[in-house]
Structure 1
Amino acid sequence: MAKTENSEFDIRGVNHVALVCKDMRRTVEFYRDVLGMPLIKTIDLPGRRGQHFFFDIGNGDSIAFFWFPNAPEAQPGIAAPGSLPGSGSLVSAHGSMNHLAFNVPAEKFDSYVERLVKKGVKVSRVLNHDNSPEQVSEDVTDDVYIRSVYFFDPDGVCLEFACWTRELDERDVNFSQVD
C-alpha cells in the first residue's frame, strides 16, 4: 500500500481494538492457540466487574477483549454481520464493528487459508477484490487490489485475513462516491 502522511496527528497504527467475549478461556484458546497470537496482558477489573486481556497481533498492535459477567447476548445481524461475506448479508448496525481485518503477507495468503481450514475454522470463499462491476474476480488479475478470506471467532466476531496485492494510488480514490 502506498505510504501516505497524516498532516494532523502522528498516528502510528492501531494500539488495540477492544471487543467483548462471552467466555475468556474459549477466546484465549481461539486467539492464542488457533491464530497463534501471544497473550500479553491480563487484568481483573476492580470489584469483580470482569476481565480485560490483550493479544499481540504484530507490529506493536493488539486486540483486546473484555469479559463482563452480565453482558447481553450477541446480536448477529445487528451488532455484527449475520453471515460471512460472500455467503449472505454483511450488513450491521450503525456504530457497530462489521469486521476486523488482519494484514497478512500476500505470498503466504493461500497457505494461511489452508491452515485455518486444517484447524477446523469455517472460512468464506477467497474474495479477490477488484474494480469490476461485481467487485470480485475468480482469479488474481492486475486489477485485484486486495485478497480476503473471512471467518468468525467463537463469539461471532467477523475476522478477515487480508493482503494487498498492489500499491494503491490516485486511481483508487473516487470522490464522487463520497457524496
Structure 2
Amino acid sequence: MGLKLKRIHHVAIICSDYQRSKAFYTNILGLPVVNEVYREARQSYKLDLALPDGGQIELFSFPNPPSRVTDPEARGLRHLAFAVDDIDAAVAWLDAQQVSAEPIRIDAHTGRRFTFFQDPDGLPLELYSESELQWQDPN
C-alpha cells in the first residue's frame, strides 16, 4: 500500500539575515508571500513563499543559528532545484541582480541544461531546464 506521496509540500530554510533573505527570495526569485508571522516566544520570523507548482518555501529566522557544514558532499540537503523554461533568460536575470551563477552545464544523463547559484547564506540553488534538451552525440 505504501505512503502514496504526492509531491513536496514545502522546504524549510533557516537564514542568518531575515530581511536580506526575504528580499532575495521575493525580489530576485520572485516568489509571492503567502503568510508572514513573527513568533515572539521564539524570536523568529516564519515566511511562507508560494512555488508555482503549489509547494512552498518556509523561510525561518532564529537568533544566532549555527553555520552549516561547508563540505558540499556532507549528509543532508545537497541543493534545491527550480525548473525553468529558458535558462539563459533566468541566468541573465540573476546577473542583472548581481547574483552570480556558475557556467551553464549539460546533464550527462538527461541532456538538460543546468546551473548553480547561491542564496544569501550560501545555500546551493539550481536552475534546471525542463524544455531545452541539448542534442547529445551518441558516440
Q: Give the structure-1-normalised TM-score.
A: 0.67
Distance in 2 between the 1:71 and 1:12 partners?
32
* 1:11-42 superposed Cα distances (whole Å, 9 cap, x missing partner): 33211010110011001110101111112111
- Structure number with higher strand proportion: 2
Distance in 1 between the 2:92 and 2:64 partners?
37
- The answer to whether structure 1 residue 161 and structure 2 residue 127 are counterparts is yes
Aligned-pair distance for 1:46?
4.6
Are 1:76 and 1:156, in contact at CA under 8 Å, matched by a contact in 2? no
- The answer to whether structure 1 residue 127 and structure 2 residue 120 are counterparts is no
Aligned position for 1:152: 118
Match 1:62 to one of 53, 56, 60: 56
Q: Counterpart of 1:110 in structure 2: which amino acid?
A: D
Q: Counterpart of 1:116 in structure 2: which amino acid?
A: L
Structure 1 spans left out of the alignment, 5+ residues: 1-6, 82-90, 132-142, 167-179
In the TM superposition, structure 1's runs of 4+ consecutive aligned residues that sit over 6 Å from their partners are none
Distance in 2 between the 1:54 and 1:76 partners?
26
Q: Highest CA radius of gyration, 1 or 2?
A: 1
Distance in 2 between the 1:11 and 1:25 partners?
33
Aligned position for 2:136: none
**Residue 51 of structure 2 aligns to a residue in which SS?**
strand
Aligned position for 2:137: none
Q: CA RMSD in A?
A: 1.9
* 1:93-113 superposed Cα distances (whole Å, 9 cap, x missing partner): 12x2110001112xx221111
Q: Give the structure-2-normalised TM-score.
A: 0.84
Structure 2 spans left out of the alignment, 5+ residues: 134-139
Q: Which has the higher contact order (CA 8 A, sep 6+)?
A: 2
Give me the identity figure in percent.
29
Are 1:74 and 1:155, in contact at CA under 8 Å, matched by a contact in 2? no
How many positions carry a matched residue from both structures? 132
Are 1:148 and 1:160, in contact at CA under 8 Å, matched by a contact in 2? yes
- The answer to whether structure 1 residue 41 and structure 2 residue 35 are counterparts is yes
